[in-house]
A and B are shown apart, each in its own frame.
Chain A
Amino acid sequence: MNGHFDEEMMGRVADGEEPDNAHVRECARCANGVVEALRLKRAVRDAVPRVEVPESLRRRVTRSPQRNATPWWLAAAAMLVIAVTIGANGVAMRRDATRELVDLHSTIVGSANPIDVLSTDRHTVKPWFEGRVPFAVDVPDLNGTPFRLTGGRVVFWRGQPGAYLLLTKGAHRVSLFIFRDEVAPRVGTFDSMRVVSWRANGLAYVAVGDLPREELESLRSAFAPR
């Protein structure tokens, strides 16, 4: 290159906009000019402190960015679409959850070793879960009910640990899944298998078996909060 960089070119080099800047390695005057331009860039950056985003704004943007300045009819239409979508998704998710838990039930009861703690004594099964699941498992006295405790194990549903109790009623085997309430599945029904769920004491219970719904429902009172 003949001649020196002009002021604009020094700025472009300092801004990284000129890939061909070999001239500054040969010319002390232009190199000094670029260094000065870089010094100004840094001074500007240092003089303008970054302001933290107020928490109020962060909430406004992350929670309901569509709320402000939206015509009511558009908001209403959007809400309708959202409600229908959520409803459809919710039904689909419930169906998926039910299928997954019924499959889990079938896998466990069909296994040669369905349970890890084999005991009909609730005082043996209850403490076995300590340290294995992130909540206390209350195994009630099932005397007076048609169900008998066979044992338990730990299960994982969608990455979350849960307690599993295997119960029997005659020749029928019933799975009772217990999860923390916040990770619990919202279940429905699935073909020939009955699935019943309820919530108590911050936990969610899901009973799966091939018994009539009323009989599974009777487990609810046995595992109800006291």
Chain B
Amino acid sequence: MGDGTGAPSFEELALPLLAALYNYALWLTKNQAESEDLVQETYVKGMRGFGSFAEGTNFRAWMYRILRNTFLTSRSGLRAAPHLSIEDDRELVEELSGDSAPDRSIIARVDASALRRVIDDLPLPFREVLLLSDVEEMSYREIAEALSIPVGTVTSRLMRARRKVREAVQR
């Protein structure tokens, strides 16, 4: 229920996001138990910080950002953190950028499990923008807010992620 002022409560806004946040946590951690803890901690933090949440801003992106920041300070998140500043990793950027022009139509012929493995193998910064865009159908701006990165970075990461996917499935 709301607080009587017409403004939705934290529960009203946050509970519909439970499945999406849990799936996002699974993408990040690849571990069910860790994902459950991560989501619960996200809700705890969200509830505590809800007073400071500015009405009119994007609540979904705010919750994703809490979850992601919580993950980054967790044990497995700290292990993944060195790979998150991928823009500075020239070698990896070149590897992901490639000059080859893959046969795009192959996407129509690749089976889902093979594609799933390719996505799983993507470095986290690319995997998460790809999934937030294609599965969660977030806008670039929303992804930028959720990940605390510029919109331009979202665009370039998406392009590289998709290129990597195309290249991997045609091998």
Contacts and interface: CB of A to CB of B under 8 A. Distances in A.
Interface stretch (A54-62, A123-131, A172-180, A192-200): A54-62
B104 interface: yes
A53 B22 contact: yes
A51 interface: yes
B158 interface: yes
Interface in B85-134: 104-105, 107-108, 110, 112-113, 115-116, 119, 130-131, 133-134
A41 B36 contact: no
A41 B43 contact: no
Interface stretch (B51-59, B76-84, B160-168): B160-168
Interface residues of A, number: 35
State the majority secondary structure of interface residues on A.
helix
Given A17-B140, A52-B19, A68 B158 contact: no
Contact of A11 (B23, B40, B43, B159): B159
Contact residue range for chain B?
Answer: 35 or more
Interface string A40-67: 1101111110111110111011100110
B170 to A, nearest CB: 12
A196 B52 CA distance: 45
B13 interface: no
Interface of B: 11, 15, 18-19, 22-23, 26, 32, 36-37, 39-41, 43-44, 47-48, 104-105, 107-108, 110, 112-113, 115-116, 119, 130-131, 133-135, 139-140, 155-156, 158-159, 162-163, 165-166
Interface of A: 7-8, 11-12, 15-17, 33, 36-37, 39-41, 43-48, 50-54, 56-58, 60-62, 65-66, 68-70
